Structure 1
Amino acid sequence: MDRYKILILGRSGSGKSALIHRLKNNVFPDSDAITSFPNVTVIVRAIHGSIIKADLVESDLTDFLAKDASPDTAKVHLAKQTLDVNGLFLIYDITNSETFWEIDEVLRVIPPDVDICLVGTKADMVDHRQISFKEAENKSHQLGFSLVETSAMMGINCEELLLEVLDKVAERRLEVRQYLSESTEVCAWKMVQDYVRCIHYAIWSIKQLFQQMTKNLLNRASFVGFLDSCGGRSDDVS
């Protein structure tokens, strides 16, 4: 069973906990449930016939974005949280434009190899909308992210959002495994080729040595024969 870590980033009150509660229990939580909600929620889904366990990790950006916060400390803390994540939901509240325009500041400390989805929450509150879908769409295209507007209260696009990100993460992991497998095969084939070359060189070296030894023996035999013939002529003269 594959296990992925999905980080859910957003300001306090942006709808992070409600989204996670909807994904976990398929219901909209009451205020008490949100208050007591754990930082890490484990859910299980089936993707392309494979069972995947996902750790949904909620992280509050309020401290990171606070004007009186220590920039270095906040950035280091956020960077640590994003080190080993497979996917990321970057949350903004469509009824609060400030949560949308803070996205660029957050992205500066997020690793570039993380699959990110821009998530607009509270999509059911259309009368209070401050960020249009077109604005968010332009932003997502500019950043190269996918965009999903959700409503945890109505259950709109919540499950679709999760499955889309899990599918992307699974696809990327499969590509990595295939690359490693192909690389291993290439390395193994190169090792075989090197081994064969070593054997050929060893055979050639033995052959050269044998030829040299044969040549030396023949030269020695010729020399002995020459001495014998010289000795025979000496006896005849005497």
Structure 2
Amino acid sequence: MSSSTSHNYNFIFKFIIIGDMGVGKSCLLHQFTEKKFMANCPHTIGVEFGTRIVEVADKKVKLQIWDTAGQERFRAVTRSYYRGAAGTLMVYDTTRRSTFNHLSSWLTDTRNLTNPSTVIIMCGNKSDLETMREVTYDEAKQFADDNGLYFFETSAMSGQNVEEAFIETARIIYQNIQEGRLDLNASESGVQRRTNVLSGPINGKNTDMKENCQCIV
């Protein structure tokens, strides 16, 4: 991505990825941002970060994605990143029922620590490991429906539904903005609007606007 392209966007949406250790959160992030499967992915310590610019309704949106550690000892640290999240991917492992059983606890944290308009997508990762499956699609879909969640089964290895999960989250956030359900003036909205996308040419050269960190944390 060129320097000018990396500054050319209309909105920033803050995402967080949550779930038990080993469900593939970092692999999902890597697949989405790099379009590659990261084998032997180390467990996240604290929080990791990635970005990608996508197009939603003819607008350029920079997704600012915080990948949180799943270990209980890091929960106090990672909970601080829930604040101001516009979108949450809540991930479990389709081959480990315990990670599915813990979703209620992750959902409670999400609803207690984010704002009411935060879009929550539930992802059943590792769907490519069908012979090892412990959680059926139907029971997961029922849990999602019962709790008002959007649901995808994903595979960070094959890329199945990874793009769709992130893009659909962004689409719903943008729809909420358009319909007035998300107040962009509220600090906890998890959305920033960029008014200046690119600067004009100076001395015959195209130069980018200086971009400060602008991380939404």
Using the size of structure 2 for normalisation, the TM-score is 0.72
Distance 1:178 1:100, change over 3 A: closer
1:1-238 to 2 correspondences below 5 Å:
1-31=10-40, 34-35=41-42, 39-63=48-72, 74=75, 77-110=77-110, 111=114, 112-176=116-180
What do residues 36-92 of structure 1 show as CA deviations (whole Å, max 9, x unaligned)? 98701011101111100011111123216xxxx9xxxx4x54542211100000000
In our comparison, the structure showing a higher alpha carbon Rg is 1
SS at match of 2:15: strand
Q: Which blocks of at least 5 consecutive residues in structure 2 are unaligned?
A: 1-9, 185-217
Give the letter aligned to residue 83 of structure 2: L
Q: CA deviation at 1:29?
A: 1.3
Give the letter aligned to residue 109 of structure 2: V
Residues in 2 aligned to 1:176 and 1:46: alpha-carbon distance in whole angstroms:
20
Contact 2:87–2:118 (Cα < 8 Å) also in 1: yes
Q: Which blocks of at least 5 consecutive residues in structure 1 are unaligned?
A: 181-238
Number of equivalences: 169
| Larger RCO: 1 or 2 (CA < 8 Å, sep 6+) | 2
Contact 1:78–1:109 (Cα < 8 Å) also in 2: no
Residues in 1 aligned to 2:31 and 2:19: alpha-carbon distance in whole angstroms:
16
CA RMSD, 1 decimal:
2.3
Q: CA deviation at 1:176?
A: 2.5
More helix by share: 1
Contact 1:117–1:146 (Cα < 8 Å) also in 2: yes
Using the size of structure 1 for normalisation, the TM-score is 0.66
Give the letter aligned to residue 126 of structure 1: E
Contact 1:3–1:55 (Cα < 8 Å) also in 2: yes
Distance 1:15 1:178, change over 3 A: closer
